[in-house]
């Protein structure tokens, strides 16, 4: 299986850690062995360049949103831009901010700390998908719910709700 060109710099991930096994199975039907190492593109079942799959409508809403998480985690900003529709809008419910495609990519690219973006749950049907993720740096952890509408294999609309993790969840007193 060939990795998408946009994911060429994507580090390998361990199934069940970076991408939960349940997500891999649900999205691709593939069940990797525990402890094996596969790439994000393999985990989502991409067999062609992401752009080719996306524009041909070959990716399901679940695959599209899983690719979204993988691209952010890999810090692949060109790949992220390719996955967002030209008229993409993102709305952050907690702040009231709205971003277009370029603004959303810039926000993520220029964020002052490096974070991990780890999928915890994914539900998808038709052109809609919801992703619950843990976003963490070395010192902070947040959770985000991402509600996406997929049009022709591209994310057209994204609504996100972010939450801080309480000190007890982080293991602090």
**For position 40, what pLDDT does the model report?**
47
Ranges of beta strands (E only) in the chain are 84-92, 98-100, 116-125, 128-136, 141-151, 154-164
**For position 12, what pLDDT does the model report?**
39
Domain membership of residue 87 as a residue range: 5-164
Residue 146, in any domain of the structure: yes
Residue 108, in any domain of the structure: yes
What CATH number is given to the structural domain containing 69? Answer: 3.10.450.50
Residue 112, in any domain of the structure: yes
Number of domains, the chain: 1
Under 8 Å between Cβ of 83 and 155: yes
Q: Which of 32-41, 43-52, 126-135 has the highest mean pLDDT?
A: 126-135
pLDDT digits (tens, 9 = 90+) for 132-163: 999 988 888 899 999 999 998 899 999 999 98
**Which comes out higher in pLDDT, residue 84 or 94?**
84
pLDDT digits (tens, 9 = 90+) for 91-137: 999 899 999 999 999 999 998 888 899 999 999 999 999 999 999 88
CA dist., res. 32 & res. 46, Å (int): 15
Instruction: Quickly tell me which residue has 């052109």 as its tokens.
Output: 127
Residue 171, in any domain of the structure: no
**For position 110, what pLDDT does the model report?**
93
């Amino acid at each position: 299986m060939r990795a998408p060109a946009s994911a060429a710099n994507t580090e390998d991930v361990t199934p069940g850690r970076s991408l939960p096994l349940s997500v891999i199975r649900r999205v691709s039907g593939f069940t990797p062995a525990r402890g094996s190492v596969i790439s994000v593109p393999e985990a989502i079942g991409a067999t062609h360049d992401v752009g080719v799959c996306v524009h041909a409508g070959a990716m399901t809403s679940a695959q599209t949103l899983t690719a979204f998480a993988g691209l952010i985690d890999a810090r692949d900003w060109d790949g992220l831009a390719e996955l967002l529709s030209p008229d993409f809008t993102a709305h952050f419910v907690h702040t009231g901010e709205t971003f277009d495609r370029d603004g959303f990519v810039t926000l993520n690219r220029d964020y002052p700390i490096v974070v991990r973006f780890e999928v915890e749950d994914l539900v998808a049907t038709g052109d809609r998908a919801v992703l619950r993720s843990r976003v963490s740096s070395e010192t902070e952890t947040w959770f985000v719910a991402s509600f996406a509408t997929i049009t022709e294999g591209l994310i057209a609309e994204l609504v996100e709700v972010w939450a801080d993790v309480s000190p007890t969840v982080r293991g602090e007193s």
